[in-house]
Structure 1
């Protein structure tokens, strides 16, 4: 079974849905294989999950030859409150983010701050994202390949991104918790820092 097919099967099992209950969009970039974005609706949250970032392991861009098997693999998941209707451009953004290992040589990992320089979706106040650990289980692959890890994507404002650069990711998460900010609410304000 191809990596992407295995990842699709396991993520749909995790959410207890099948392909009939899921919308998808495909994003392509010149020279890269297509990346699919699944939209998985739930009672309180809509999950946007990438498929395709884990097709190849992430590696050090300075290596002369990329290892086709060994190295970390990741997919991204973004959760937004249902009924918000603010997702225009979101599939493209998630495709760009999950393609950064191939395009820019970035290894996606928890606490990474990725600055987009433009809104995460149309008219959003968020121009960067903070990655974090996900509760979606890793997808095990045959040895010696590393498992596919899911990373959460939390949109952040320019002020919050500056806070992460200055104080670290955990300090921002603590500020959100202290202020009672729902990071899944696309209409939320920035944390008062």
Structure 2
């Protein structure tokens, strides 16, 4: 079963592009298989999609044996109103997030707050991300494997991350909406909480 080929085909189909029109960067960490970051331009939006996080199912890090087929699988998608540059460090940050299930035993899920410990890209005020449900359909895999789910990645500042820890993910989303903040703007201000 070639999970990544299925995921790649489905995501390219979702955005209506062929592989020749997609830029890609590969990120490798010691002991982890490469994570590819696809860069898909669609009008004034740039989508950064991970490819490699779904290679293996996410599972309980305390289990003695990992199940090679069963368990949730996930990839990440970050959408910005403009690109942030190839040398910005964004690909590395997305690679770290996508590799977290293998490296740290994290199970990616909607409303999860993930700390990066550094700027998401060069000079960005965002040091954490909030995961959410994506409109990209799940990629169905042959039984008994679970489908691959996509989660949106929304960069958040340290203040916004603290807000999520105290009040929850939906409270931050409500604050963004109330303030008219476009979370796809890479130069957006932090929510005034």
TM-score category of the 2 structures, normalised to the smaller one: over 0.9
- 8 Å contact kept, 1:57–1:69: yes
TM-score by length of 1: 0.97
- Contact 1:70–1:146, Cα closer than 8 Å, also in 2: yes
Q: Distance in 2 between matches of 1:59 and 1:148?
A: 14
**Residue 167 (structure 2) pairs with residue 167 (structure 1):** yes
Quote the RMSD (CA, aligned, Å). 1.1
> What SS does structure 1 have at the residue aligned with 2:29?
coil
Query: Unmatched 5+ residue regions in structure 2?
Result: none
Alignment partners' CA distance in 1, 2:86 and 2:13: 26
Q: Structure 2 length normalisation: TM-score?
A: 0.97
The alpha carbon displacement at 1:32 in A equals: 1.2
Instruction: Spell out structure 1 runs of 4+ moving beyond 3 A.
Output: 83-87
Partner of 1:109: 109
Q: Deviations over 1:120-160 (max 9, x none)?
A: 00100000000000000000000111000000000000000
SS class of match (1:33): strand
Q: Post-superposition shift, 1:86?
A: 8.1
Aligned residue runs from structure 1 range 91-106, under 5 A: 91-106=91-106
- Measured against aligned partners, the alpha-carbon deviations of 1:142-190 in whole angstroms (never above 9, x if no partner) come to 0111000000000000000000000000000000000000000010001
Q: Where do 1:1-193 residues align within 5 Å?
A: 1-82=1-82, 85=85, 88-193=88-193
In structure 1, what is the Cα distance between the partners aligned to 2:63 and 2:85? 43
Q: Provide the aligned length of Structure 1 versus Structure 2.
A: 193
